[in-house]
Structure 1
Amino acid sequence: MGSQDVLTDTTKLASYSMVLQVLFRVLTFGLNAFTLRYVSKEIIGIVNVRLTLLYSTVVFLAREAFRRTCLSHGPRQNWRHTIQLIWLTVPLGICWSLLLGWVWLRVLEVPDPEVIPHYGTGVLAFGFSAVVELLAEPFWVLAQSHLLVRLKVLAESLAMISRCCVTVLLVLVYPQWGLVIFSVAQVLYTSLLALAYVVYFAGFLGSPEAETKSFPLRKMTEFLPQYSASQNFLDWTQVRLAWSLFKQSFLKQILTEGERYVMTFLNVLSFGDQGVYDIVNNLGSLVARFIFLPIEESFYVFFAKVLERGKDVGCQRKEDVSTATEVLASLLKLVTLIGLTITAFGYAYSQLALDIYGGSMLSAGSGPSLLRCYCLYVLLLAINGVTECFTFATMSKDQVDRYNYVMLGLSLSFLAFSYYMTGWLGSVGFILANCFSMGLRIAHSVLYIRRYYRGSPYRPLTGLLLSPAVVSALGVSAAVTAFSEVSLCCDRGWVPRLGHVAVGVVCLSVTLGAAVFSETKLTHFIRSQFLSRPPKKKA
């Protein structure tokens, strides 16, 4: 498959993933808004912070390193070795689930059973659901590697909608169950997700589409580990790379979920405050979840397939390097534009968004300040996602090992800085600590990309620079909407609020118009890769 074909399939995968993330976030926000009216914010804090942290930690530590290893492009990739390596996620997940489950039950502060009943049931259910999800990992890796774009959307949509429906039903009928409601919904979600992958491949194997994509497996039993006396059970080159990435993923998890670890282990916020923080955090990460994360996941596959890991630019095919460079520059410009737009408009519309979503419980106090700071963090998050996506896809094993020491320093500094900032500024300190950490990660990735392209005519980092027309439009929009907020929002009734929204719509239209007419390369990239329908491939 040529680099242009890979790019076409990758952008299609990213587009489908964005739609999936939009659906996921809309359902999640609707579910949070609904459950806030039936269950306490303390239960929301336990579920969305502590139990979700247990689940995400088990899943991330068990599979992240194996995913990145198995998706790396190699000229002599052996799928039998890849499948057997990815199955190691299951026993590893069981070990992490047992260990962390014990910590969550015996080491951490146990909530008052009168206020939050069935805490032990919640811990067991979320740990078990993580292991169930890992059973689908071999199917996920094969699907992602062969760009089966519909499978992920269908599987996760089915599981997601089912979880939301069950949660709403149980909250209405048995609100006194508390954590049991969310435990049942979580186990159902991961079970349906794993089942959907199994059912899909049962019908996919042997089909004309499988032949067209040169799928390496022919029957379902080939998804299982198989011992052969004629070859090693594992490819030890892959194992060593996975170990290096595992050490890195452990540290990356601390950076990704650092504020939740601080809240969980250091008790800097009450369970109720954790619930409010998590709701505001989810609202602030809306765009990051449904745009930036799919771009990062999908284009990691693209860079890993087009560029060979550990080789300099001069040792790669010129056509592949040119395509990858153009894509990297366009992605950087796209996410920078989106991030700056969110930062410019987020200041004036944070309080209104919180008031509409959760009422005075969210819009009063530190909620608006928290969301405004998060808008700046979204910009840094966007740039870091793309730069690290390229960096991790092209690093050699030795470079990955060296980067682990960088991640260790970042992790320790983040934890210390977040603890200090939280004691000083409250929950806003978490966001500022994240901004500090993300800025350091961006600096490292930018230096790596500069070194990677040193001596070549390619300059993909120019994608971080927007045209003067766009920068001017963003600056004027930020000033106008800030004045509009003071004049029209947010305690002056609905008519002035609508006027404030209208001002934002006009300013946003002007900004987008400036981007369309001044960023012609970016406009062409979006139209050709995300908005156009790819031609059907001939069988």
Structure 2
Amino acid sequence: MGSREVLGQAARLASSGLLLQMLFRLITFVLNAFVLRFLSKEIVGIVNVRLTLLYSTTLFLAREAFRRACLSGAAKRDWSQTVSLLWLTVPLGVFWSLFLGWVWLQLLEVPDPHVVPHYGTGVVVFGFSAVVELLGEPFWVLAQAHMFVRLKVIAESLSVILKSVLTALLVLWLPHWGLYIFSLAQLSYTTVLVLCYVIYFAKVLGSPESAKQQALPVSSMTDLLPSMTRSRVSNAFVNWEEAKLTWSFFKQSFLKQILTEGERYVMTFLNVLNFGDQGVYDIVNNLGSLVARLIFQPIEESFYIFFAKVLEREKDATLQKQEDVAVAAAVLESLLKLALLTGLTITVFGFAYSQLVLDIYGGAMLSSGSGPVLLRAYCLYVLLLAINGVTECFTFAAMSKEEVDSVGFILANCFNMGIRITQSLYFIHRYYQKSPHRPLAGLFLSPVLLGTFALSGGITAISEVFLCCEWGWLARLAHVAVGALCLGVTLGTAFLTETKLIHFLRTQLGVPRLADKTT
């Protein structure tokens, strides 16, 4: 498969992921506003901070490193060994869910059962849900490696919609169930998600013609089950080079997880906020990270696969196929430009509209106090997160095992996001140093566009002082109108000055066609 074809598939996967994230975040946005009107903020804090942290930590520790390692160089591997390696995520998930569940029940503060009923059940079910989701890991990796766009869209859409509808109905009819509501909804989400992947592959592999059309490396469902003797090229149960790469990714991913979820770990283990304040914080946190999860996460996941397929580990850029290196450089430059522009837009306009957004969403409970300051800080963080996501996306895909193991990169994860970005930029610069390509040019904007951002930031800041948020709805609408005008001018300037990026977006990141390879 050529690099251009892989690029097209990665772009369709990214745009589909973006559309999915838009749907999911809109549903979550409305659902949180709905739940706040029926349940206490203490329950919201327990679910969105403590139980969600248990679930995400279990999944991250059990599968993240396996995903990164097993999505690299898919065309060359023995999939029987890869499948066997992926099934190791299940016993790992059982171990982590039991260990972390014990910590959550025995070592952490237990909430008042009159305020937050059924906490123990919530811990057990959220941990079990993580294990259930890991049962679909071989199917998910196979689907990602072969860019099955529609499968991802359908599976995740069905599971999220079911979870949201079930949560809303139970909150409306049985609010006294407390954490039973969210536990049942979470278990239904993971079950439906796994079933969608299993049913799809059972249908495809049950038809030899369909399996051949999809060019799958497996021929039956039994090939997706672990086996001690199934390897076609060696007697090894797993590919040990792949296993070593998994271990390398695990070491740096463990530190990255601590940084990513750091504030939740602090709140959970140090009790610096009560459960009600944790609920308020989480709502502001979700609003602040909305764009990062909406746009950057699907792009990072999809183009990691692209870079991993196009570039070979262990080889310098000058030793690889130059057409692939050139395509990778052009894509990286465009992604960096897109990340920088999006991050700057959020930072500039988010500063003046944080208080208004919180006031509309949650009233005085969110818009008073430290809420607006916190949301403004997140707007700045989004800029760093955007650049970091794209640079690490390339870095993790192109690094050799020894470079993944490097002390410098692991230490970079220990300091802060800025150092992580610097480390990735250095790797990218060194990778392309002996080639004519300069993808880091994507981080440079025209002076006219930078001036437009600065002018928009100043105008919207003045507008916030005089029009928001104590002067009634007419003043607020005027403030919104000023922001819309400035945003239009900024986007128009970007459209006229960043012609290379616009061409990339038009040709690669369009809405995915329905008639893709998974039909």
Q: 1:208 to 1:341 in 2, by over 3 A?
A: farther
Greater relative contact order (CA < 8 Å, ≥ 6 in sequence):
2
Residue equivalent to 1:267: 271
Which of 449, 471, 491 is the equivalent residue of 2:470?
491
Please tell me whether the aligned partners of residues 310 and 395 of structure 1 are also in contact (alpha carbons under 8 angstroms). Answer: yes
Displacement of 1:409: 6.3
Describe how 1:453-464 pairs up with structure 2 within 5 A.
453-464=432-443
Q: Indicate the SS of the match to 2:238.
A: coil
Residue equivalent to 2:423: 444
Describe how 1:31-430 pairs up with structure 2 within 5 A.
31-73=31-73, 76-205=76-205, 206=207, 208=209, 210-228=211-229, 231-403=235-407, 406-408=409-411, 410-411=413-414, 413=415
Please tell me whether the aligned partners of residues 339 and 380 of structure 1 are also in contact (alpha carbons under 8 angstroms). Answer: yes
Please tell me whether the aligned partners of residues 349 and 485 of structure 1 are also in contact (alpha carbons under 8 angstroms). Answer: yes
- 2:21 equivalent to 1:12: no
Q: Indicate the SS of the match to 2:509.
A: helix
Q: Indicate the SS of the match to 2:433.
A: coil
* Partners of 1:465 and 1:535 in 2: CA distance: 36
Post-superposition CA distance 1:17-76 (Å, at most 9, x none): 001101111111111000001111111111000000000000011000110111001663
* Partners of 2:455 and 2:58 in 1: CA distance: 46
Q: 1:164 to 1:537 in 2, by over 3 A?
A: closer
Displacement of 1:319: 0.2
Please tell me whether the aligned partners of residues 73 and 308 of structure 1 are also in contact (alpha carbons under 8 angstroms). Answer: yes
Please tell me whether the aligned partners of residues 70 and 82 of structure 1 are also in contact (alpha carbons under 8 angstroms). Answer: yes
Displacement of 1:210: 3.5
- Amino acid across the alignment from 1:514: T
Please tell me whether the aligned partners of residues 74 and 308 of structure 1 are also in contact (alpha carbons under 8 angstroms). Answer: no
Instruction: Normalising by structure 2, report the TM-score.
Output: 0.96
Displacement of 1:536: 6.8
Give unpaired runs (5+ residues) of structure 1: 414-436
* Partners of 1:321 and 1:455 in 2: CA distance: 12
Please tell me whether the aligned partners of residues 208 and 219 of structure 2 are also in contact (alpha carbons under 8 angstroms). Answer: no
Displacement of 1:247: 1.4
Please tell me whether the aligned partners of residues 10 and 147 of structure 1 are also in contact (alpha carbons under 8 angstroms). Answer: yes
* Partners of 2:348 and 2:412 in 1: CA distance: 32
Q: Which moved more, 1:212-221 or 1:375-384?
A: 212-221
Please tell me whether the aligned partners of residues 12 and 149 of structure 2 are also in contact (alpha carbons under 8 angstroms). Answer: yes
Displacement of 1:237: 0.8
Instruction: Normalising by structure 1, report the TM-score.
Output: 0.93
- Amino acid across the alignment from 2:130: A
Aligned length in residues: 514
Please tell me whether the aligned partners of residues 251 and 408 of structure 1 are also in contact (alpha carbons under 8 angstroms). Answer: no
* Partners of 2:397 and 2:406 in 1: CA distance: 15
- Amino acid across the alignment from 1:519: E
- Amino acid across the alignment from 2:216: F
* Partners of 2:387 and 2:185 in 1: CA distance: 34
For the aligned residues, what is the CA RMSD?
1.6
Please tell me whether the aligned partners of residues 8 and 534 of structure 1 are also in contact (alpha carbons under 8 angstroms). Answer: no
Residue equivalent to 2:509: 530
Post-superposition CA distance 1:485-532 (Å, at most 9, x none): 111111111111111111111111111110111100000000001127
Q: Indicate the SS of the match to 1:531.
A: coil
Give unpaired runs (5+ residues) of structure 2: none
- Amino acid across the alignment from 1:484: S
* Partners of 2:211 and 2:461 in 1: CA distance: 55
Q: 1:535 to 1:307 in 2, by over 3 A?
A: farther
Post-superposition CA distance 1:59-105 (Å, at most 9, x none): 01100011011100166311111111101000000000000000000
Displacement of 1:407: 2.9
Q: Which moved more, 1:156-165 or 1:215-224?
A: 215-224
Q: Which moved more, 1:229-238 or 1:131-140?
A: 229-238
Q: Indicate the SS of the match to 2:111.
A: coil
* Partners of 1:44 and 1:508 in 2: CA distance: 34
Please tell me whether the aligned partners of residues 489 and 496 of structure 1 are also in contact (alpha carbons under 8 angstroms). Answer: yes
- 2:470 equivalent to 1:470: no
Post-superposition CA distance 1:99-119 (Å, at most 9, x none): 000000011111122221211
* Partners of 1:329 and 1:472 in 2: CA distance: 22
Identity between Structure 1 and Structure 2 (%): 64
Displacement of 1:534: 6.5
* Partners of 2:27 and 2:515 in 1: CA distance: 32
